[in-house]
Structure 1
Amino acid sequence: MKGAFNKASDMVGGMVGLAAASTAGGRSTGAFLMNAVVGNLYEVQAAKAALERSRSEAVRNFALKMIDDHTTAAHQLHSALRMNETKDVEPPPQELDDRHSGMIRHLIEASDEDFDSRYLDQQAMAHQETATLLKTYADEGENPQLRSWATSSLPVVERHLEMVRQIKSH
Protein backbone atom coordinates (compact mmCIF):
# COMPACT_ATOMS: atom_id res chain seq x y z
CA MET A 1 0.00 0.00 0.00
CA LYS A 2 2.81 2.40 0.90
CA GLY A 3 4.49 1.72 -2.45
CA ALA A 4 1.33 2.69 -4.35
CA PHE A 5 1.02 5.88 -2.28
CA ASN A 6 4.67 6.77 -2.91
CA LYS A 7 4.27 6.19 -6.65
CA ALA A 8 1.14 8.37 -6.74
CA SER A 9 2.93 11.05 -4.72
CA ASP A 10 5.84 11.01 -7.18
CA MET A 11 3.42 11.35 -10.12
CA VAL A 12 1.57 14.31 -8.57
CA GLY A 13 4.88 15.98 -7.73
CA GLY A 14 6.02 15.42 -11.30
CA MET A 15 2.90 17.08 -12.69
CA VAL A 16 3.48 20.08 -10.42
CA GLY A 17 7.13 20.23 -11.47
CA LEU A 18 6.21 20.01 -15.14
CA ALA A 19 3.72 22.85 -14.77
CA ALA A 20 6.32 25.00 -12.99
CA ALA A 21 8.95 24.23 -15.63
CA SER A 22 6.71 25.53 -18.41
CA THR A 23 5.68 28.74 -16.60
CA ALA A 24 7.54 31.21 -14.37
CA GLY A 25 9.81 28.43 -13.08
CA GLY A 26 11.27 28.14 -16.56
CA ARG A 27 11.58 31.85 -17.32
CA SER A 28 12.93 33.53 -14.19
CA THR A 29 16.67 33.05 -13.73
CA GLY A 30 16.44 32.30 -10.00
CA ALA A 31 13.69 29.69 -10.40
CA PHE A 32 15.41 28.19 -13.43
CA LEU A 33 18.70 27.81 -11.58
CA MET A 34 17.03 26.30 -8.53
CA ASN A 35 15.19 23.74 -10.68
CA ALA A 36 18.22 22.94 -12.86
CA VAL A 37 20.62 22.49 -9.94
CA VAL A 38 18.17 20.49 -7.85
CA GLY A 39 17.38 18.35 -10.90
CA ASN A 40 21.05 17.52 -11.44
CA LEU A 41 21.52 16.72 -7.74
CA TYR A 42 18.47 14.46 -7.79
CA GLU A 43 19.64 12.64 -10.93
CA VAL A 44 23.02 11.80 -9.39
CA GLN A 45 21.53 10.67 -6.06
CA ALA A 46 18.82 8.58 -7.75
CA ALA A 47 21.42 6.98 -10.04
CA LYS A 48 23.59 6.06 -7.05
CA ALA A 49 20.57 4.38 -5.48
CA ALA A 50 19.99 2.50 -8.75
CA LEU A 51 23.58 1.29 -8.80
CA GLU A 52 23.12 -0.10 -5.30
CA ARG A 53 19.66 -1.59 -5.76
CA SER A 54 18.96 -2.45 -9.39
CA ARG A 55 19.18 -6.01 -10.63
CA SER A 56 18.99 -4.95 -14.28
CA GLU A 57 22.15 -4.39 -16.30
CA ALA A 58 20.30 -1.91 -18.54
CA VAL A 59 19.16 0.13 -15.54
CA ARG A 60 22.61 0.05 -13.97
CA ASN A 61 24.22 1.19 -17.26
CA PHE A 62 21.65 3.98 -17.53
CA ALA A 63 22.42 5.01 -13.94
CA LEU A 64 26.13 5.25 -14.74
CA LYS A 65 25.30 7.45 -17.73
CA MET A 66 23.13 9.67 -15.52
CA ILE A 67 25.98 10.15 -13.04
CA ASP A 68 28.42 11.03 -15.82
CA ASP A 69 26.13 13.32 -17.79
CA HIS A 70 24.52 15.13 -14.87
CA THR A 71 27.87 15.66 -13.15
CA THR A 72 29.16 17.15 -16.41
CA ALA A 73 26.05 19.33 -16.71
CA ALA A 74 26.55 20.58 -13.15
CA HIS A 75 30.18 21.49 -13.90
CA GLN A 76 29.16 23.28 -17.10
CA LEU A 77 26.45 25.20 -15.25
CA HIS A 78 28.90 26.27 -12.54
CA SER A 79 31.28 27.43 -15.29
CA ALA A 80 28.48 29.45 -16.89
CA LEU A 81 27.80 31.05 -13.52
CA ARG A 82 31.40 32.32 -13.38
CA MET A 83 30.95 34.30 -16.62
CA ASN A 84 30.56 38.06 -16.63
CA GLU A 85 26.95 37.82 -17.93
CA THR A 86 25.95 35.96 -14.75
CA LYS A 87 27.84 38.04 -12.18
CA ASP A 88 24.58 39.34 -10.63
CA VAL A 89 22.88 35.94 -10.47
CA GLU A 90 22.21 34.57 -6.99
CA PRO A 91 24.06 31.30 -6.27
CA PRO A 92 21.78 28.28 -6.62
CA PRO A 93 21.00 25.84 -3.79
CA GLN A 94 23.31 22.89 -3.20
CA GLU A 95 20.79 20.46 -1.72
CA LEU A 96 17.59 18.77 -2.77
CA ASP A 97 14.22 20.41 -2.22
CA ASP A 98 11.48 18.58 -0.31
CA ARG A 99 9.87 17.08 -3.43
CA HIS A 100 13.10 15.58 -4.75
CA SER A 101 14.13 14.40 -1.27
CA GLY A 102 10.79 12.59 -1.11
CA MET A 103 11.44 10.97 -4.47
CA ILE A 104 14.81 9.68 -3.25
CA ARG A 105 13.14 8.41 -0.07
CA HIS A 106 10.54 6.60 -2.20
CA LEU A 107 13.32 4.91 -4.17
CA ILE A 108 15.01 3.79 -0.98
CA GLU A 109 11.71 2.49 0.43
CA ALA A 110 10.75 0.62 -2.76
CA SER A 111 10.77 -3.15 -2.56
CA ASP A 112 13.43 -4.97 -4.55
CA GLU A 113 10.74 -6.14 -6.98
CA ASP A 114 9.44 -2.60 -7.52
CA PHE A 115 12.73 -0.69 -7.53
CA ASP A 116 13.55 -0.70 -11.26
CA SER A 117 10.01 0.26 -12.24
CA ARG A 118 9.92 3.06 -9.66
CA TYR A 119 13.33 4.35 -10.74
CA LEU A 120 12.42 4.32 -14.44
CA ASP A 121 9.05 5.98 -13.80
CA GLN A 122 10.79 8.72 -11.84
CA GLN A 123 13.42 9.10 -14.54
CA ALA A 124 10.84 9.49 -17.30
CA MET A 125 8.99 12.11 -15.27
CA ALA A 126 12.14 13.96 -14.17
CA HIS A 127 13.61 14.09 -17.67
CA GLN A 128 10.33 15.31 -19.17
CA GLU A 129 10.24 18.04 -16.53
CA THR A 130 13.88 18.99 -17.18
CA ALA A 131 13.40 19.03 -20.95
CA THR A 132 10.45 21.40 -20.52
CA LEU A 133 12.46 23.57 -18.11
CA LEU A 134 15.43 23.80 -20.49
CA LYS A 135 13.29 24.48 -23.57
CA THR A 136 11.28 27.17 -21.79
CA TYR A 137 14.40 28.93 -20.49
CA ALA A 138 16.26 28.57 -23.80
CA ASP A 139 13.31 30.23 -25.56
CA GLU A 140 12.27 32.81 -22.97
CA GLY A 141 14.88 33.03 -20.19
CA GLU A 142 16.29 36.27 -18.88
CA ASN A 143 20.02 35.58 -18.97
CA PRO A 144 21.82 35.01 -22.31
CA GLN A 145 24.63 32.89 -20.80
CA LEU A 146 22.17 30.59 -19.06
CA ARG A 147 19.94 30.44 -22.17
CA SER A 148 22.99 29.16 -24.03
CA TRP A 149 23.62 26.51 -21.36
CA ALA A 150 19.95 25.46 -21.49
CA THR A 151 20.07 25.21 -25.29
CA SER A 152 23.18 23.02 -25.25
CA SER A 153 21.87 20.82 -22.41
CA LEU A 154 18.46 20.11 -23.93
CA PRO A 155 19.58 17.48 -26.52
CA VAL A 156 21.35 15.48 -23.79
CA VAL A 157 18.22 15.42 -21.63
CA GLU A 158 16.09 14.46 -24.62
CA ARG A 159 18.46 11.53 -25.29
CA HIS A 160 18.10 10.46 -21.65
CA LEU A 161 14.32 10.54 -21.99
CA GLU A 162 14.51 8.35 -25.08
CA MET A 163 16.86 5.93 -23.28
CA VAL A 164 14.36 5.61 -20.40
CA ARG A 165 11.55 4.91 -22.84
CA GLN A 166 13.60 2.21 -24.57
CA ILE A 167 14.53 0.51 -21.29
CA LYS A 168 10.92 0.61 -20.08
CA SER A 169 9.69 -0.96 -23.33
CA HIS A 170 11.87 -4.07 -22.92
Structure 2
Amino acid sequence: MNAVRRIAVAVTLAALAGISAPSAFAAAAAPDDAPFLKAIHQGNLAEIQAGEDAGKNAKATCVKTVGATLVRDHRKLDTDVKALARKLGVSLPSGPSQEQKEALAAVQSKAGTSGYDGAWLTTEDKGHVETIKLIDHEIDSGSNSQVKAAARAARPIVEDHLDMIRDCKAELNPS
Protein backbone atom coordinates (compact mmCIF):
# COMPACT_ATOMS: atom_id res chain seq x y z
CA MET A 1 0.00 0.00 0.00
CA ASN A 2 1.52 3.32 -1.00
CA ALA A 3 1.99 6.17 1.47
CA VAL A 4 -0.89 8.30 0.17
CA ARG A 5 -3.30 5.39 0.45
CA ARG A 6 -2.06 4.58 3.98
CA ILE A 7 -2.69 8.18 4.98
CA ALA A 8 -6.19 8.15 3.49
CA VAL A 9 -6.99 4.92 5.30
CA ALA A 10 -5.63 6.30 8.60
CA VAL A 11 -7.65 9.50 8.28
CA THR A 12 -10.81 7.55 7.42
CA LEU A 13 -10.34 5.14 10.32
CA ALA A 14 -9.63 8.03 12.66
CA ALA A 15 -12.77 9.83 11.57
CA LEU A 16 -14.79 6.67 12.14
CA ALA A 17 -13.23 6.23 15.57
CA GLY A 18 -13.87 9.86 16.54
CA ILE A 19 -10.15 10.84 16.55
CA SER A 20 -9.25 14.14 14.95
CA ALA A 21 -7.94 13.75 11.42
CA PRO A 22 -4.86 15.96 11.93
CA SER A 23 -3.45 13.72 14.66
CA ALA A 24 -4.08 10.57 12.62
CA PHE A 25 -2.59 12.25 9.55
CA ALA A 26 0.47 13.31 11.52
CA ALA A 27 1.09 9.81 12.81
CA ALA A 28 0.77 8.34 9.33
CA ALA A 29 2.82 10.94 7.48
CA ALA A 30 5.58 11.95 9.89
CA PRO A 31 8.02 9.07 9.24
CA ASP A 32 8.34 9.97 5.56
CA ASP A 33 9.16 13.59 6.30
CA ALA A 34 10.88 13.26 9.67
CA PRO A 35 14.42 13.14 8.21
CA PHE A 36 13.80 16.45 6.45
CA LEU A 37 12.49 18.12 9.61
CA LYS A 38 15.47 16.83 11.59
CA ALA A 39 18.01 17.98 8.99
CA ILE A 40 16.41 21.40 8.61
CA HIS A 41 16.31 21.86 12.39
CA GLN A 42 20.00 20.99 12.65
CA GLY A 43 20.73 23.36 9.78
CA ASN A 44 18.86 26.17 11.52
CA LEU A 45 20.81 25.58 14.73
CA ALA A 46 24.10 25.56 12.80
CA GLU A 47 23.18 28.78 10.97
CA ILE A 48 22.25 30.52 14.21
CA GLN A 49 25.61 29.56 15.74
CA ALA A 50 27.49 30.59 12.60
CA GLY A 51 25.69 33.92 12.44
CA GLU A 52 26.44 34.64 16.09
CA ASP A 53 30.06 33.71 15.50
CA ALA A 54 30.26 36.13 12.56
CA GLY A 55 28.92 38.86 14.81
CA LYS A 56 31.84 38.27 17.17
CA ASN A 57 34.68 37.47 14.77
CA ALA A 58 34.03 38.94 11.32
CA LYS A 59 35.96 41.99 10.24
CA ALA A 60 33.88 42.95 7.19
CA THR A 61 30.61 44.78 7.74
CA CYS A 62 28.83 42.70 5.10
CA VAL A 63 29.79 39.46 6.88
CA LYS A 64 28.46 40.83 10.16
CA THR A 65 25.25 41.92 8.41
CA VAL A 66 24.75 38.54 6.74
CA GLY A 67 25.46 36.83 10.06
CA ALA A 68 22.84 38.92 11.87
CA THR A 69 20.31 38.18 9.12
CA LEU A 70 20.99 34.45 9.40
CA VAL A 71 20.45 34.53 13.16
CA ARG A 72 17.15 36.41 12.83
CA ASP A 73 15.75 34.38 9.94
CA HIS A 74 16.90 30.94 11.09
CA ARG A 75 15.48 31.52 14.57
CA LYS A 76 12.10 32.26 12.95
CA LEU A 77 12.39 29.29 10.58
CA ASP A 78 13.36 27.02 13.45
CA THR A 79 10.40 28.16 15.55
CA ASP A 80 8.17 27.05 12.69
CA VAL A 81 10.04 23.75 12.22
CA LYS A 82 9.79 22.94 15.94
CA ALA A 83 6.06 23.68 15.97
CA LEU A 84 5.45 21.49 12.93
CA ALA A 85 7.62 18.68 14.31
CA ARG A 86 5.74 18.82 17.60
CA LYS A 87 2.42 18.69 15.75
CA LEU A 88 3.61 15.68 13.75
CA GLY A 89 5.21 13.90 16.70
CA VAL A 90 8.75 14.13 15.31
CA SER A 91 11.61 14.25 17.83
CA LEU A 92 14.28 16.74 16.84
CA PRO A 93 18.01 16.55 17.60
CA SER A 94 19.38 18.85 20.30
CA GLY A 95 22.15 20.38 18.21
CA PRO A 96 23.84 20.64 14.83
CA SER A 97 25.25 17.53 13.16
CA GLN A 98 28.86 16.54 13.77
CA GLU A 99 29.73 17.70 10.25
CA GLN A 100 28.17 21.11 10.92
CA LYS A 101 30.02 21.42 14.23
CA GLU A 102 33.31 20.58 12.51
CA ALA A 103 32.68 23.11 9.73
CA LEU A 104 32.02 25.87 12.28
CA ALA A 105 35.08 24.86 14.29
CA ALA A 106 37.22 25.10 11.14
CA VAL A 107 35.94 28.63 10.52
CA GLN A 108 36.35 29.58 14.20
CA SER A 109 39.98 28.45 14.04
CA LYS A 110 40.56 31.39 11.70
CA ALA A 111 39.08 33.96 14.12
CA GLY A 112 41.33 36.96 14.47
CA THR A 113 42.98 36.33 11.10
CA SER A 114 42.42 37.80 7.66
CA GLY A 115 41.12 34.41 6.53
CA TYR A 116 38.06 34.33 8.78
CA ASP A 117 35.62 36.28 6.60
CA GLY A 118 36.41 34.32 3.44
CA ALA A 119 36.23 30.98 5.24
CA TRP A 120 32.92 31.95 6.83
CA LEU A 121 31.42 33.00 3.49
CA THR A 122 32.64 29.87 1.72
CA THR A 123 31.19 27.62 4.44
CA GLU A 124 27.89 29.52 4.38
CA ASP A 125 27.68 29.37 0.58
CA LYS A 126 28.15 25.60 0.63
CA GLY A 127 25.65 25.13 3.45
CA HIS A 128 22.96 27.19 1.76
CA VAL A 129 23.43 25.38 -1.58
CA GLU A 130 23.03 22.04 0.24
CA THR A 131 19.96 23.34 2.09
CA ILE A 132 18.30 24.44 -1.16
CA LYS A 133 18.88 20.95 -2.59
CA LEU A 134 17.36 19.40 0.54
CA ILE A 135 14.35 21.73 0.35
CA ASP A 136 13.85 21.01 -3.36
CA HIS A 137 13.96 17.28 -2.68
CA GLU A 138 11.30 17.64 0.03
CA ILE A 139 9.10 19.76 -2.24
CA ASP A 140 9.40 17.16 -5.02
CA SER A 141 9.29 13.97 -2.94
CA GLY A 142 7.81 14.71 0.49
CA SER A 143 4.55 13.09 1.47
CA ASN A 144 3.16 15.48 4.10
CA SER A 145 1.50 18.57 2.60
CA GLN A 146 2.28 20.66 5.71
CA VAL A 147 5.99 19.81 5.58
CA LYS A 148 6.08 20.47 1.83
CA ALA A 149 4.36 23.83 2.39
CA ALA A 150 6.94 24.71 5.06
CA ALA A 151 9.74 23.78 2.65
CA ARG A 152 8.18 25.94 -0.09
CA ALA A 153 7.89 28.87 2.37
CA ALA A 154 11.52 28.50 3.52
CA ARG A 155 13.04 28.21 0.05
CA PRO A 156 12.95 31.93 -0.90
CA ILE A 157 14.44 32.88 2.47
CA VAL A 158 17.35 30.47 2.05
CA GLU A 159 17.76 31.63 -1.54
CA ASP A 160 17.93 35.26 -0.35
CA HIS A 161 20.60 34.25 2.16
CA LEU A 162 22.64 32.65 -0.61
CA ASP A 163 22.35 35.83 -2.69
CA MET A 164 23.48 37.93 0.30
CA ILE A 165 26.43 35.61 0.91
CA ARG A 166 27.49 35.77 -2.73
CA ASP A 167 27.05 39.55 -2.87
CA CYS A 168 29.28 39.86 0.20
CA LYS A 169 31.88 37.56 -1.38
CA ALA A 170 31.87 39.74 -4.48
CA GLU A 171 32.19 42.88 -2.36
CA LEU A 172 35.24 41.47 -0.56
CA ASN A 173 36.81 39.96 -3.69
CA PRO A 174 35.86 42.09 -6.69
CA SER A 175 37.01 40.57 -9.98
Q: Which residue of 2 aligns with 1:48?
A: 52
Instruction: Note if contact 1:49-1:107 (Cα within 8 Å) is conserved in structure 2.
Output: no
- Tell me which of the two structures has the higher relative contact order, counting C-alpha pairs closer than 8 angstroms and 6 or more residues apart: 1
- Alpha-carbon distance change, 100 to 156 in structure 1, aligned in 2, over 3 angstroms: same
Q: Which residue of 2 aligns with 1:148?
A: 149
Instruction: Note if contact 2:85-2:92 (Cα within 8 Å) is conserved in structure 1.
Output: no
- For 1:51 and 1:61, locate their aligned partners in 2 and report how far apart those are by CA, in whole Å: 8
3-state DSSP of counterpart to 1:113: coil
Is 1:138 equivalent to 2:139 in the alignment?
yes
3-state DSSP of counterpart to 2:115: helix
- For 1:128 and 1:28, locate their aligned partners in 2 and report how far apart those are by CA, in whole Å: 23
- For 2:95 and 2:63, locate their aligned partners in 1 and report how far apart those are by CA, in whole Å: 25
Deviation at residue 73 of structure 1 after TM alignment: 0.1
Deviation at residue 92 of structure 1 after TM alignment: 1.4
Q: Which amino acid aligns with 1:52?
A: K
**Please, what TM-score do these two structures have when normalized by structure 2?**
0.76
Q: Which residue of 2 aligns with 1:14?
A: none
Structure 1 window deviating more from structure 2 (65-74 vs 138-147): it is 138-147
**Once superposed, which parts of structure 1, at least 4 consecutive aligned residues long, lie more than 4 Å away?**
none
| Percentage of matched positions with identical amino acids | 24
Aligned residues, how many? 140
Q: Which amino acid aligns with 1:144?
A: S
Q: CA RMSD in A?
A: 1.5
3-state DSSP of counterpart to 1:162: helix
- For 1:102 and 1:29, locate their aligned partners in 2 and report how far apart those are by CA, in whole Å: 26
1:6-155 equivalent positions in 2, closer than 5 A: 28-83=32-87, 86=88, 89-111=89-111, 112-155=113-156
3-state DSSP of counterpart to 2:114: helix
